[in-house]
Structure 1
Amino acid sequence: MHVGSHLTTLKIASGKIIVNITRIFNKLINLRCFPHTVNLACKAVIAALARSDYGSTTGDHTDPISTLRALVRAVRALSLRRQHFSEICEKYDLDLQLLCDVDTRWSSTLYMIERALHLEKPLDDICSSEEFQDLEKFKLSSEEWDGLAAAREILMVPEAFQQKLSAEKTPTLCNVLPAFDTMVSVWNELQESMDEPYFDIIQAGIDKLDAYHNRAELVPAYMISMCELSFLIIPQMIY
């Protein structure tokens, strides 16, 4: 019984040690994937746009993206509205359909904005249409359209880098991490070129990327991937 008791204690102790080692190991190797981190950064940008002074508009509008989303859903909801919108698009020689975003994919918000900017005149027309006066509350002002154009410019930066890395057959950490630095650099340039309200909006995304980068620097995989292993010499085999 005495020996058995000791064995039981050792098993419990060794189990706890293994659990603790596993937790430490997971912290050392745990590194979020590039798309997930970019998703967090872009969602932070979109949320910052809604919180900005620019975003606090009058009436039923909250921010340009939310207003656009509501307008797109309203137009797509009824067949008569869709048909009327298609007829308006034909008048402008545009053969395009509205796109609605989904909450789980930030890039879908970019695509929705980009498509809407191409369809700005038809959207303005249907909001001013006598047939659908209930859509007038969704009519975007020129300032809000400018805000959507700025949002597109900001979101096109991570989109370009994500597409580039997605094209790689085997994405590597040594390519992903420099992409973060370059993305932050491009966003910094945008901060200098765009109006003041957008500085803080872009900064919200940069802060997310910086948090990832700071965490990545603590992961051994990061240090290994960024090292130039020039000290490794493979000796020539002599037969």
Structure 2
Amino acid sequence: LTSFNVAFGVYISINQLQFIAQNNCSCFPHVVNLACQSVLSAITELEYVKETSQDFEPEKFSLHNFLDAVKHDPIATLRSLIRAIRASALRRQHFMQILVNMDMAILQLLKDIETRWSSTYLMIDWAILLREAIEQFLYGSEFAELRKYSMNNEEWKALEVFHEILQVSLVF
């Protein structure tokens, strides 16, 4: 129980008000969260957001158009890449060095969190901002095993579209 629920219960009791379940409405942020979770479940596999889940292994096939890129699940690919970079101090340090060398803002890649829908938006937002550094990291010789998480232009376009879709919910 939240303190609001307790206080509301006391208020109803003191004022002898009748609670009518049919008049109940969810708080707006909760509704926005449910809507965003529904959108996210349609565009990415949410199972991979969980801390205990295994990394997403993107299939390598020829991507010819936007729909192919969407089916390839670029959000899950990005999430697994970020998890791999963040899991290793050496990888984090190398990524930071790339940012310094490229004279970019020193930002850590953000990983989304299962309970916060806006974290997926922020993860994509920063990845788009740091795309050049991400690509340089992936195509360098130091961590070639992570190249499986590289994305082509269509997948980056899909991320940009998902970014725009999720951005709408930030207005509320």
> Structure 2 regions of 5+ residues with no counterpart?
1-17, 46-66
Q: 2:21 aligns with which of 4, 8, 26?
A: 26
Match of 1:200 in 2: none
Which of 153, 159, 182 is the equivalent residue of 2:170?
A: 159
Corresponding residue for 2:123? 112
Structure 1: distance between partners of 2:101 and 2:69: 32
Cα distance, 1:54 vs. partner? 4.1
Show the counterpart of 2:29: 35
Q: CA deviation at 1:134?
A: 1.0
Structure 2 counterpart of 1:74: 84
Q: Distance in 1 between matches of 2:38 and 2:122?
A: 17
Give the match's secondary structure for 2:76: helix
C-alpha separation between the residues in 2 aligned to 1:127 and 1:53? 22
Normalised TM-score (structure 1): 0.53
Total equivalences in the alignment? 133
Aligned alpha-carbon RMSD (Å)? 1.7
Question: Any residues of structure 2 matched to 1:126-145 within 5 Å, and which?
Answer: 126-145=137-156
The TM-score normalised by the length of structure 2 is 0.72
Task: Report sequence identity in percent.
Answer: 45
Letter in 2 for 1:86: M
Alignment check: 8 A CA contact 1:101 1:108 kept = yes
Q: Is the CA contact 1:126–1:135 (under 8 Å) kept in the aligned structure 2? A: no
Secondary structure of residue in 1 paired with 2:71? coil
Structure with the largest fraction of helix: 1
- Residue by residue over 1:8-56, the C-alpha shift from the partner in whole angstroms, topping out at 9 and shown as x without a partner, is xxxxxxxxxxxxxx7x81122x111111111111111112223875422
- SS of equivalent residue, structure 2 residue 34: helix
Q: Residue 75 of structure 2: SS of its match in structure 1?
A: helix
Max radius of gyration: which structure?
1
